[in-house]
Chain A
Amino acid sequence: MFLIGIISEALLYLCFALLIGSFLLYLVPSSYRPNINVPKGYLMMAIGGIAIFSFIPVLQLILYLYEDIGFAQTLQSVLFTFEVGKAWVFTYIFSNLLFILVVWFDYRKRALYSYIGIIFTLILILALGWSSHASSYDQVKGFLNQSAHFTAVSVWTGILIVVSWFSKNHSNWLNFLKWFTPVAIVCFASTIVTGLILMTFVVEFKDYPNSWMIPYGQALLFKHILIIPLLVYAVINSILMKRKLEKDINFNPKPWARVESIVILLIFSATAALGQQSPPHETTVTSEVVSKLFTMFYQGQFQPEMTVRLVLNSTSMTLILLALLFLVLTIFSFIKKAPAVVSFFMCILLVLCVYLSLILGLQ
């Protein structure tokens, strides 16, 4: 159930990205984007996905509670009195409306339908933000930040995913980069700012290394480390790609955009794993909750309620150096036109190095 929870949550983010990305790209004049075709079926699946995947946390909750008062009664009370339940009922109704919109009106033909689609998707994002972890701590600030964070991520990654997996060719790619690069930078900046604010709800910055002892912190750490390869690919896919295409218009940028979207999928998974764990301030680090990954790599003896701090020793310095080399290799494999999958492996090793370096540097 735990694994299902993570996968469904990551897929939920993917569904939102697909919807926003498709609607937005159909609004862009066709000379400013590659020729894309997002079949209706995919969007219908994405909308269905939103309705189903957002129900999984509600279902988990019902399964957790039903022993006490029975399934039907639990279902009723969760759906109509719990914040998450009410948010899901709302989500369900609106995703049905959006489904009908996509089935009846062709978003590929008229811009108006895409606009309506975007508005509906944004409403669904707000519903998700309402039931989020952050808004249970601070109703207004948490809700707004969560929704802004999610919107910025969906816009940026959505466009990237749709353009890399649903474009028929790479015509107009330079024109596409002209507007997408600034959009991506704005979205990325807002994602970082809102993300850091959201993080303050659950971890204090000085406690950040301590949070790595529990699964929540581990997931958060992986999420943060994965931002490094994401940035590397962002540079490759914007600045370096522009130069390469100016020299050689036949160079195919799609595999590189796809690899970036895979990194995004990894970040989605790390985020989804976060959502399944209880955050640090609700958790006392005992031997039962401590992350197995942490105890595996941590050099000292684990004691309940201990604290750790980051002291870089020779091992972690070596690993940081290796990480830097892998970063250089990632960029080199692009310049030397190696297959994109090679650079993906370099990125994975880069993440591994940074992770080991940080965990082995704890005292």
Chain B
Amino acid sequence: MIKKLFLFTFIFFLAFVNNALAHTGLESSSPQNGAIVKEELQEITLTFESKIEQNSTFEIQNLNGDSIPVKNISITENKMVGSFSNPLENGKYQAKWKIIGADGHPIDGDFSFSVDMPVTETPAEVQKEPKKEDAKQVEENKPKTANEPKEKIEQNKLPSYIIPSIIGVLIVIVVGSFIWVMRRKK
């Protein structure tokens, strides 16, 4: 009996194996997801929903998948700020973040933005202390979700006869057990 029970417990464990890791703990970012930045961009700020731990990090990739080195990632409470030695060139970028919440849960996600500066303008002197307002969002798309629902989700649907059959089987079990139990002598 006990072995069977443990088997059951084990099957129950298996029922929860569902390995999906894509969360958004990101509250807001500067530049925001989908933003087109028309000024020079030298600093990126990510604000999260709760306190994040020190090893949290993020990286920036351009369209070719090359990552642009981010220096001085600083973390205070729920904010993560990183800057670049040179302003980002025109193009599309993807920011991938990996954070650790205070309860030790790793959360990751990404957002993308593009830089589109007027070409004639010469970039200003590289400042020692990057200003926060460098990045102005001209266009604001949907603020949060990175993955947009484009593709049709294929659902592992059960055939339509399954549910009625389950109910049928359950009814049989109920009736059978009632008869079995009632027939037992006290």
Considering only residues 140-169 of chain B, those with a C-beta below 8 Å from chain A are 144-145, 147, 149, 151, 153, 155-158, 163, 166-167
Q: When each residue 60-100 of chain B gets 1 if its CB lies under 8 Å from chain A and 0 otherwise, what string results?
A: 00000000000000000000000000000000000000001
Tell whether, in the assembled complex, residue A84 and residue B24 are in contact, meaning their CB atoms are under 8 Å apart.
Answer: no
Q: Contacts of B166 on A, CB cut-off 8 Å?
A: 356
Given contacts A82-B100, A329-B178, contact A288 B147 (CB under 8 A): yes
Q: When each residue 273-298 of chain A gets 1 if its CB lies under 8 Å from chain B and 0 otherwise, what string results?
A: 10010100111101111111101110
Q: Contacts of B49 on A, CB cut-off 8 Å?
A: 281-282
Q: When each residue 59-79 of chain A gets 1 if its CB lies under 8 Å from chain B and 0 otherwise, what string results?
A: 011001100110000100110
Q: Is B126 an interface residue (CB 8 A)?
A: no
Tell whether, in the assembled complex, residue B5 and residue A349 are in contact, meaning their CB atoms are under 8 Å apart.
Answer: no
Partner of A283, one of B13, B24, B103, B156: B24
Q: Is B51 an interface residue (CB 8 A)?
A: yes
Shortest CB-to-CB span from A144 to chain B, Å, is 16
Q: Contacts of A292 on B, CB cut-off 8 Å?
A: 18, 156
Given contacts A61-B104, A74-B55, contact A305 B149 (CB under 8 A): yes
Tell whether, in the assembled complex, residue A136 and residue B145 are in contact, meaning their CB atoms are under 8 Å apart.
Answer: no
Partner of A332, one of B13, B24, B149, B181: B181
Shortest CB-to-CB span from A195 to chain B, Å, is 17
Partner of A282, one of B17, B19, B25, B155: B25
Q: When each residue 10-25 of chain B gets 1 if its CB lies under 8 Å from chain A and 0 otherwise, what string results?
A: 0011111111111111
Tell whether, in the assembled complex, residue A6 and residue B105 are in contact, meaning their CB atoms are under 8 Å apart.
Answer: no
Tell whether, in the assembled complex, residue B17 and residue A3 are in contact, meaning their CB atoms are under 8 Å apart.
Answer: yes
The residue in chain A whose Cβ has the minimal distance to the Cβ of B171 is A322
13 A-B pairs (CB sep. < 8 Å): A61-B100, A84-B104, A215-B18, A215-B20, A259-B5, A288-B147, A292-B156, A302-B155, A332-B182, A333-B181, A337-B186, A342-B181, A349-B170
Q: Contacts of B149 on A, CB cut-off 8 Å?
A: 286-287, 303-305
Tell whether, in the assembled complex, residue A83 and residue B53 are in contact, meaning their CB atoms are under 8 Å apart.
Answer: yes
Query: Given the complex of chains A and B, what is the CA–CA distance between A126 and B7 in angstroms?
Result: 32
Tell whether, in the assembled complex, residue B181 and residue A329 are in contact, meaning their CB atoms are under 8 Å apart.
Answer: yes
Partner of B163, one of A85, A258, A315: A315
Known: A219-B16, A258-B2, A286-B145. 15 other contacts (CB 8 A): A3-B13, A6-B16, A65-B100, A74-B55, A82-B53, A83-B104, A85-B104, A133-B103, A215-B16, A215-B20, A273-B13, A278-B25, A295-B155, A342-B181, A349-B173
Q: Is B174 an interface residue (CB 8 A)?
A: yes
The residue in chain A whose Cβ has the minimal distance to the Cβ of B155 is A295
Query: Given the complex of chains A and B, what is the CA–CA distance between A289 and B108 in angstroms?
Result: 13
Q: Which of B50, B102, B103, B107 has the most CB of A within 10 A?
A: B103
Query: Given the complex of chains A and B, what is the CA–CA distance between A133 and B100 in angstroms?
Result: 12
The residue in chain A whose Cβ has the minimal distance to the Cβ of B149 is A304
Shortest CB-to-CB span from A259 to chain B, Å, is 8
The residue in chain A whose Cβ has the minimal distance to the Cβ of B183 is A336
Query: Given the complex of chains A and B, what is the CA–CA distance between A301 and B171 in angstroms?
Result: 28
Given contacts A136-B101, A341-B1, contact A325 B16 (CB under 8 A): no
Q: Is A182 an interface residue (CB 8 A)?
A: no
Q: Is B128 an interface residue (CB 8 A)?
A: no
Q: Contacts of A137 on B, CB cut-off 8 Å?
A: 50
Shortest CB-to-CB span from A101 to chain B, Å, is 28
Stretch of A106-114, A155-163, A262-270 on the interface side: A262-270
Shortest CB-to-CB span from A83 to chain B, Å, is 5
Tell whether, in the assembled complex, residue B54 and residue A296 are in contact, meaning their CB atoms are under 8 Å apart.
Answer: no
Query: Given the complex of chains A and B, what is the CA–CA distance between A276 and B107 in angstroms?
Result: 12
- Number of chain B interface residues as a range: 35 or more
Query: Given the complex of chains A and B, what is the CA–CA distance between A83 and B145 in angstroms?
Result: 28
The residue in chain A whose Cβ has the minimal distance to the Cβ of B166 is A356
Q: Is A338 an interface residue (CB 8 A)?
A: yes
Considering only residues 317-345 of chain A, those with a C-beta below 8 Å from chain B are 318-319, 322, 325-326, 329, 332-333, 336-342, 344
Tell whether, in the assembled complex, residue A325 and residue B8 are in contact, meaning their CB atoms are under 8 Å apart.
Answer: no
Tell whether, in the assembled complex, residue B50 and residue A336 are in contact, meaning their CB atoms are under 8 Å apart.
Answer: no
Q: Contacts of A116 on B, CB cut-off 8 Å?
A: none
Given contacts A68-B55, A68-B57, A281-B49, contact A346 B144 (CB under 8 A): no
Q: Is A132 an interface residue (CB 8 A)?
A: yes
Q: Contacts of B12 on A, CB cut-off 8 Å?
A: 266, 269
The residue in chain B whose Cβ has the minimal distance to the Cβ of A304 is B149
Query: Given the complex of chains A and B, what is the CA–CA distance between A341 and B1 in angstroms?
Result: 7
The residue in chain B whose Cβ has the minimal distance to the Cβ of A1 is B19
Shortest CB-to-CB span from B150 to chain A, Å, is 10
Query: Given the complex of chains A and B, what is the CA–CA distance between A86 and B54 in angstroms?
Result: 13
Tell whether, in the assembled complex, residue B100 and residue A360 are in contact, meaning their CB atoms are under 8 Å apart.
Answer: no
The residue in chain A whose Cβ has the minimal distance to the Cβ of B17 is A3
Q: Which of A68, A132, A289 has the most CB of B within 10 A?
A: A289
Query: Given the complex of chains A and B, what is the CA–CA distance between A322 and B163 in angstroms?
Result: 14
Shortest CB-to-CB span from B26 to chain A, Å, is 9
Q: Is A234 an interface residue (CB 8 A)?
A: no
Partner of A84, one of B20, B103, B163, B181: B103
Q: Contacts of A305 on B, CB cut-off 8 Å?
A: 145, 149
